[in-house]
Amino acid sequence: MLFFDPKTEFPVLLAPMAGVTDLAFREICRAMGADFSYTEMVSAKGLYYGSDRTASLLAASPQERPYGVQLFGAEPEIVSEMAKRLSEEAPEGLALIDLNMGCPARKITGNGEGSALMRDLPRAARIIEATAKASALPVTVKFRKGYDAEHINAVAFARMAEESGASMVTVHGRTREQMYSGRADWDIIAEVKQVVSIPVIGNGDVFSGADALALRAHTGCDGVMVARGAEGNPFLFAEIKAALSGREYTPPTDAERIDAALAHARRLVECRGGRAVIEMRKHVAWYLSGMRGASTLRAQVNRIGSLAELETMLLQYRESLNG
C-alpha cells in the first residue's frame, strides 16, 4: 500500500536531488508543507560493498515521515538484494523504495544506470521485477520522457514498469539529452496517465502554486513532484498547498528567506560537521537570489569557511536590508 490514497489525496513531493536534498533541507521542506521526501539517490552497489559514505545517505529524521529511499543501479541482483535488506530493516516512516531510472548525469549513465536504462527496457524490467518481488515495501520508479529526441518512450516504459510490479511512477517531462534545459513536456505525463492504472506523479517546471495547479489540470496526475523550484525556496511547498486548497498565500519577506538559510546552515552543520558549511554555499546563493546586492554577497559567501562567518555575514546583510 502506498503512503497516500490517490482517490482522495493529492500529495506534493520533494524530489530526490543529489547534493541538494540533504537531511537538513528535507526537514525544512517538510515543515513548509511537503507531504513526502526521499533520500538523495543511493547507489545499490555502494550499499552492497559497504561504503560508509553511501550508507550515510540513508539517514532520515522523525520530521520526514513517511519518506522513501531512492536506489540506483544496473544489476538486478544487487538492486533487489539491497531493496530487500532496506525493506526488512525498515526504520519507522520508510514507506517505499524508489528506483532511479531518470538521472541524466554522465557519471551515472556511463555505467548503464539512471536514464541509460530507458535505452534498455529488458534490463529495466528485470530490475523492477526482481526488486518488486524482493521488497516488503512498495517499489516505485522515476524516469524521463525518453533518452533523447529520437527515443521518446515514456509511455512504453511506464507500461513496462507497471507490468513489472511498480506501484507508482514519476515522470519528468524532459529527455536525458535535454538535462534540465527547455520546457518540460507535460503532454507526455498526460499520455502516461492514460495508459497505466497505477498512480502517476508529474515532475517538471513546478515553480509556483499556479504551476502545480496547471500541471494537475493538464495531465490528470495523482501528485506533483518539486525539484529545482525548491532550491533556495522551501516556501514553495506552502505556496502550493495554499493553491491546492484555494487559500491566499503571502510570499516570504527577504528577512524570512535569510532566516531559513541560517536555519538550514545550522542544521546542516549539526548533521555533517563544520565542513558542511562549504556545501551550504550553493544553498545560500539560491536563498539570496533576487535580493538587493545579492551578487556581491554571493561572492563573499563562496570564501567563507565556518558557520560563525556565515552567520555574521547573513545577519549583517539582513540588517542592511532594513536600512
CA distance 284 to 311: 11
- Angle, CA 248 vertex, CA 245 and CA 252 arms, to 5°: 115
Given 29, 103, 221, 271, which residue is catalytic? 103
**Active-site residue, 221 included:** no
C-alpha to C-alpha distances, 318 to 7, 198, 248, 301, nearest whole angstrom: 45, 47, 26, 14
> What whole-number distance in Å separates Cα of residue 164 and Cα of residue 158?
10
Q: Rounded to the nearest 5°, which phi and psi values hold at 157?
A: -65, -40
The grid cell for 285 is: 546563493
- Whole-angstrom Cα distance, residue 273 to residue 289? 26
Q: Which residues of 288-311 are buried (b: 16+ CB within 10 A; e: fewer)?
A: beebeebeebbeebeebeebeebe
C-alpha 253/C-alpha 214 separation (Å) is 26
Residues carrying an active site annotation: 103
